[in-house]
Amino acid sequence: MEWTIPVQTLDNSKVRISGLHKSQKPMAALSYVDGELQIPALSILLPSLTIKSYDAETGRLALSLQGTQGILTKLSALQNLMLNTTYSSYRTWFPGERERTYEDIASCFQPLIHNNCLYLYCPLSTSGSFNEIQIYSGGQWSRGTIPSAILGSGKQVRIAVRLQGISFHQHPITKALTGKSRVQHRILAIYSD
């Protein structure tokens, strides 16, 4: 079972960003703590949003946040929390690296929120149960291949997404940090009707 928090009730003060986990891809994991309830990953249920665009080749899905000022503000504040934590923790997380300014970190960060849009990665086909997305369309639930028709511009969808953490890009051969970072995430479910 996946604990998912409706974005309307998300409280950014309860979001926790862990120390850096150094593995194949360095990442600072996100979790949610509400009293005694500790959710090890930050999964959010979004309201019905309009698809602005979808690129089937890259999987980039742009959802319009126009007219949802409260949600836009909340998600922007969450993104700022991640940027501020990266800036304030950078020396601790990467002691051998050169110091970076906030502007440098922000300019190398692939944003989730930009120009009133939420950007997510959503592959049309998923392989393996780990990557499968639950899809509700045409009155029934399914898994696996996403019908491209439900991701058309102007369509309304409701999405559950897990924000796993802030991942830091390394050069594929030298493993040196490139300065680039992004929010590692995975779409759990898409509701389209």
Is residue 124 very low, low, confident or very high in pLDDT (cuts 50, 70, 90)? low
Handedness of CA 10, 13, 16, 17 (dihedral sign): positive
Q: How far apart are the C-alpha atoms of 167 and 4, rounded to whole Å?
A: 21
For residue 134, pLDDT over 90 is answered with no
The two three-digit tokens of residue 142, written as one number: 């399914």
Cα separations (Å) of 124 from 92, 101, 117, 160, 170? 38, 37, 20, 16, 26
Q: What is the mean pLDDT of residues 64-72?
A: 95
Q: Which of 60-74, 93-107, 163-177 has the highest mean pLDDT?
A: 60-74
Contact (Cβ atoms closer than 8 angstroms) between residue 49 and residue 156: yes
Of residues 156 and 177, which shows the higher confidence score? 156
Nearest of 56, 78, 57, 86 to residue 148 by alpha carbon? 56
151 burial (CB, 10 Å; 0-12 / 13-18 / 19+) is buried
Q: Where are the domains of the chain?
A: 5-191
The alpha-helical segments, DSSP class H, found in the chain are 69-93, 102-107
What pLDDT was estimated at residue 148? Answer: 74
What pLDDT was estimated at residue 145? Answer: 72
